[in-house]
Amino acid sequence: MKKILVTGSNGQLGSCIKIKSKEQKTLDFVFLDSKGLDVTNSKQIDEVFSNNNFDYCINCAAYTAVDQAEDESDIAYNINTLGAKNLAEASKKYKVTLIHVSTDFVFNGQAQVAYKETDITNPLGVYGSTKLEGEKEIQSKLSEYYIIRTSWLYSEFKNNFLKTMLNLASKMDALGVVNDQFGSPTNANDLSEAILKIIISEKKEYGLYHFSNLGETTWYEFAKAIFDLTNTNIKLTPISTEQYKTKALRPKYSVLDKTKIIKTFDLKILNWEKSLKKHFNKL
């Protein structure tokens, strides 16, 4: 039976993996949140790894507050870059396969077609920069790793765009949402399922991959779909990025090309609209 460590287990993705893990009879999971395992503490990581015979480590620990990261660059660096480095070093020492989750924010958003794994990275802010540096730390230290970039993650857990929209709609009669940024919403339950399929497949096809739900949309159209599916009555207005100033710049276009992960692991990925509908049906 394979033993799997999941860091950042109380976050959005970690919580989804926890749910999915109950369906797995051939995998043994250890879930640790930031209190149980601080990824910025290399001594603590070494202690946890030395006391367990892990086969895999799924790193869900991340600093994801995009705007806040501009003011808290040290904290973002410690979690996103140093944390990845520490886990990579422990994984190498104890012969553990590291699965690390990264982001579409490593790109500047100036592309007009979906980003491939081989495309040039050029993050616009601290969050994307610290995540990219985390990727580089892993790549420089390990040969047996999976880095999975994802985008626009949502679920029933923690803070995300979907929950923010429903929360705002419960307090407001009208809402303006950006309609000139393009991406692919990703159901965190679908991503967690894909990660577990990679482990179960036992394919040693290590490297960098992109995963999100299929199709592309804007934040406005994503919000509209959320309100339509929940029969939420609110006046929704499309606005431009210029009309909605944020501390951190966002990629204008960050759709990810999933061809590599689909072909390598024979994945069936749902269109974002179908997955969103499935999400609400499940709830």
Query: Alpha-carbon distance 92 to 87, whole Å?
Result: 9
Query: Alpha-carbon distance 87 to 137, whole Å?
Result: 10
Which tokens belong to 72?
């808290």
Q: Are residues 156 and 283 in contact, defined by beta-carbon separation less than 8 angstroms?
A: yes
Q: What is the CA radius of gyration of the chain?
A: 18
Which tokens belong to 117?
């794994």
Burial class (CB in 10 A: 0-12, 13-18, 19+), 24: middle
Strand, coil or helix: what is 253? strand
Catalytic residue check, 77:
no
Q: Of 77, 115, 127, 145, which is the active-site residue?
A: 127
What are φ and ψ of residue 164, in 5° steps?
-65, -45
41 CA to centre of own chain: 22
Q: Are residues 211 and 36 in contact, defined by beta-carbon separation less than 8 angstroms?
A: no
Write out the catalytic residue numbers: 127
